[in-house]
Amino acid sequence: MNSHILKPGCVKECPACPHRHLGYDESLAAKQEWVIKSMREFAPLVDKIRGVSENKLWNYRSKVCLSAEYEDKAWKIGIRRKEQIYAIHDCPVHDTTVNLNIKLLISVLPEKEKFPLAYYMQSGAQLTLVVKCKNLPDLSWLDDKTTKKLKENGIEGLWLHLHPSAGKKVIGKGGWHLIAGKPRSVNTTGLIYGPSSFQQVIPELYSDSLAEAVDFLTPDFNSAVIDLYCGIGASLQQWIKTGSQTIGVELSGEALECASQNAPEADLLRGSCRHRIPQLEEYVQKANSKNKETLMYVNPPRTGLEAEVTEWISKELHPGKIAYLSCSAGTLHRDLKYMQENGLMVKRIIPYDFFPHTLHVEMLALIEKIQ
């Protein structure tokens, strides 16, 4: 048994990292077993899980969404389990900037009546405080000293998000206020992002998954790539580099704005993917008229592909190849089974440990049309 003692700062009751008691080899073996069991009939196609080096297992998480609670005249920021919040102000999984900023804020924020903080959200150098109110709360705490300290701690943009009904749903419509710094930052791979932009927290593994997708899809000047749930454009850049005609679909306005700057050569559509099928069909028709092969890259949320999208891909579009990056074994299995029943063949599944110490596994499924 390759178990190990908890790292300093790790709260025993915190439910976020069930594998933190395991050595890394043990954790990867447990995840591999779980993936094979979850993928059932596709199990023979599953590669060995890919992880990170030992020196990158800790302090890797610079994107967090944590609950906040005011108790005994002090703020607690951490993980909620049922009605209890476990404060994780020194979490060894979090990037050090996260811990530094949490400690700073709990030392300066006023009581709940003046500042009804509900969530702490950090995405790299962009920090958002979600407050449960309609109007701007007391900001007297945000003096020059605090602003300077946040900047020293790596924060480039500080936001308030007013969300009166914050609860299970963290973010509401509107209510965004930049109260210090700038609205956009640039990550380590050169991509522009904002406060709510989704980013993978281990760039090395994500880059590996994109490289595998490129190798499988083999896009070139004779290709037209459809990129669903394209985010801020990391994957769009890959297709453009190969000379492929490229189109992306994304629901988030912020992400799409960033994508337009990160991948200006791509065509972009805003909205849910199922609502953009008519425009995508026009795109494919034009590509077909130029004898371009249709390829797809999809990276949906945990809910997987929308049913209408899966049906369109499988029964009407029939792309030459699909690279499908998934964060849910359940919805991936559902979508792959439907595709394989309707003219597409799963060739390979590569699992990735994008979130060490947790139960989560990302998988890249490589799919092609049955000739």
> Could you tell me the CATH number of the domain that includes residue 83?
2.40.50.1070
| Averaged confidence pLDDT in the chain | 95
Asked if residue 237 belongs to a domain, the reply is no
Residue appearing with tokens 């009804």: 116
The model's confidence at residue 198, banded by pLDDT at 50, 70 and 90, is: confident
Separation of alpha carbons 245 and 294, rounded Å? 10
The residues near 206 (Cβ < 8 Å, ≥ 6 apart) are: 200, 234, 354
Res 261 pLDDT > 50: yes
Q: What pLDDT sits at residue 87?
A: 96
Task: Kindly state whether residue 168 falls inside one of the protein's structural domains.
Answer: yes
Question: pLDDT grade, residue 339 (50/70/90)?
Answer: very high
Express each pLDDT in 58-115 by its tens digit. Answer: 999 999 999 999 999 999 999 998 889 999 999 999 999 999 999 999 999 999 999 9
Q: What is the number of domains present in the chain?
A: 1
Q: Once rounded to an integer, what is the mean pLDDT over residues 278-287?
A: 97
pTM: 0.95
**DSSP state, residue 342:** T
pLDDT at 2 over 70: no
Residue 84 lies in a domain: yes
9, part of any domain: no
Quick check: helix, strand or coil at residue 311? helix
Which strand (E) or helix (H) includes residue 101? helix 96-108
Question: What residue numbers bound the domain in which 163 lies?
Answer: 63-189
Q: Are 21 and 3 in contact (CB under 8 A)?
A: yes
Question: Hey, what long-range contacts does 188-192 have (CB within 8 A, 24 or more apart)?
Answer: 189/234, 191/232, 191/233, 191/234, 191/258, 191/262, 192/232, 192/258, 192/261, 192/262
Whether 167 is in a domain gets the answer: yes
Residue 172's contacts (CB-CB under 8 Å, 6 or more residues apart) are 161, 162, 163, 164, 165, 166
Residue 153: inside a domain: yes
Residue at 79 is within a domain: yes
In a domain, 94, yes or no: yes
Structure tokens at 163: 């969300």
